[in-house]
Chains A and B, each alone.
Chain A
Amino acid sequence: MSDDAILSLNGLVIGYNEPLCKPITLEVRPGEIIAILGSSGIGKTTLVRTIAGLVRPLEGDFDLHVERRGGLGYIPQRLGLVRHATVAHNVSLGARLNIPWSRTMFKERKERTYDAIRTLGIEEKASEPVRRLSGGQQRRVATARTLAQRPQLMLADEFLGELDQHNVDIVLGAVQGLVSKGTAVIMVEHHEDNAKEFATRVWEIKDKCFYDMSIEEWEIHSLKGEEE
């Protein structure tokens, strides 16, 4: 494993009872944006959940070189928001993680929360309960939570779904800000256009095989697939 890798998968076999694909061995470095592509039910979510520590690998293991508390940001498919709490409360859950204990801790947490809320353009909704928000607005809240957290590795499972292009641009712009500070992003994505525009690397699961490609390699690979 190289020194600067924040995640390394060592012969990782994912699945619940049966392996969903062949063993995966690879590394992820800071600032990389990886799109996981593949058809529904192929194992994309299982891979993300395994890295998040929510599913045990069937074989192999993985090393996560991030802070145990707050180093990993995670946006699940159903967003994982506290529906009856306000937008500000949900975003502050991320903000509370990486701030060391000090007298200015609460002030800093509040600043970080509202910075993230402003960046995602949901300041008018800050004191409303999440349950009142539209699906697209809720996705922005989940992104703001991760933005306030400032993790070293961000895992996102279809977090751009239900968003129109304008909102996709806002959310991706915000995530790009994190990436510029060194955060690596692994996102499950259904829309290949988003992957093309945003990702630097693609993981594709197909016919129980795992492919790890740069975005250029993937574009050539998908063109070849179309020609065939």
Chain B
Amino acid sequence: MKYRLYGIVVLLFFLAWRTLDGLVEGDWGRLEGGLSNLSVFFSESMWPPNWSVLEARSYPVCEQDIEFFCSVGYLGMMETLKIAFVSTILGFIGAIFFSSLAARNLMPLSIALPARVFLSAVRSLPSLIWAILFVIVIGFGPLSGVLAMTFYTIGYLGKLQYEVFEGMPNDPLEAGRAMGLGRSSILLNIVIPENSNHLLSQLMFMFEYNVRHGTVIGIVGAGGIGYYISTYLKFLQYDKVLALLILIFIVVVVIDLLSMAVRSFVNEEGDVRKPTWLMLLKNFGI
């Protein structure tokens, strides 16, 4: 059985390799010198990162005691975090509603199927396209970003959630139904608590995803740190772009640590030993 699985993985790898070869039409020469180009670009244009992005902007005048709070890095990151937070929470609540309609063990097929079609339709547009649509409809700014990422979150989390719901053990649902609990009561008191570990993990993953994608949708004018990255790219200030990318990386790592801490309250690992902040930082080698 184990060797058959290895065989399948090797077969899939060769299939992927052949497909890639077809895509580049056998012209592998393009890769030649790619690494040296990257190293020249990185050493000459990006390195060292320009940390002036963490200093106060020249305009408007900074009224804060600490200069950092008026910096491009702080203001852009905070806006991205706010957009990601609001859209993750709104999207999560919307996704719970639609995924409970789409789960086959909670709803009849006549309701589950249209709900799945809706989630597929919402998910089929990437958050960037949603952002462009909302920028056209309501104009530039964070509201377009919030709406774009909320819609994408509903589509993406909705699918993950209904798959988790469908994979849960059947006996708590059957007990609830036999006892006479209503659908909403079963959802709120059985399905959500039983899957709390997965749901929290998905919530934190989606928040992290939205922070990362907040940078991309900012480029089309939907607010956040992406707006500044887009501006620096236009003016070829790659060292400032690198500084902002490092900032995003740090925030993503912090969210990952938070995710571990939050999930420890509901998973079985937490029964044995609750992770301390020190332990989490040590795990990440910080």
Residue ranges of A at the interface with B (Cβ–Cβ < 8 Å): 49, 52-54, 67-85, 89, 93-94, 96-97, 129, 131-132, 149, 151, 155
Contacts and interface: CB of A to CB of B under 8 A. Distances in A.
A82 B194 contact: yes
B interface, size bucket? 20 to 34
B189 A93 contact: yes
The 4 lowest CB-CB distance pairs between A and B, nearest first, are: A80-B175, A74-B178, A69-B180, A52-B178
17 contacts: A53-B177, A54-B174, A72-B179, A73-B179, A75-B175, A76-B171, A77-B171, A78-B171, A80-B174, A82-B172, A82-B189, A84-B197, A85-B194, A93-B181, A93-B190, A129-B271, A131-B271
Is the contact region of chain A dominated by helix, strand, or loop, or is it mixed?
loop
A101 B196 CA distance: 28
Contacts of A54: 174, 177-178
A78 B15 CA distance: 44
A94 B175 CA distance: 10
Contacts of B19: none
Interface in B137-187: 169, 171-182, 185
Nearest to A78: B171
A69 B181 CA distance: 7
A93 B16 CA distance: 51
Contacts of B271: 129, 131-132
B266 interface: yes
Contacts of B171: 76-80
A71 to B, nearest CB: 7
A67 B181 CA distance: 12
Contact of B193 (A68, A82, A149): A82
Contacts of B196: 84
B268 interface: yes
B175 A74 contact: yes
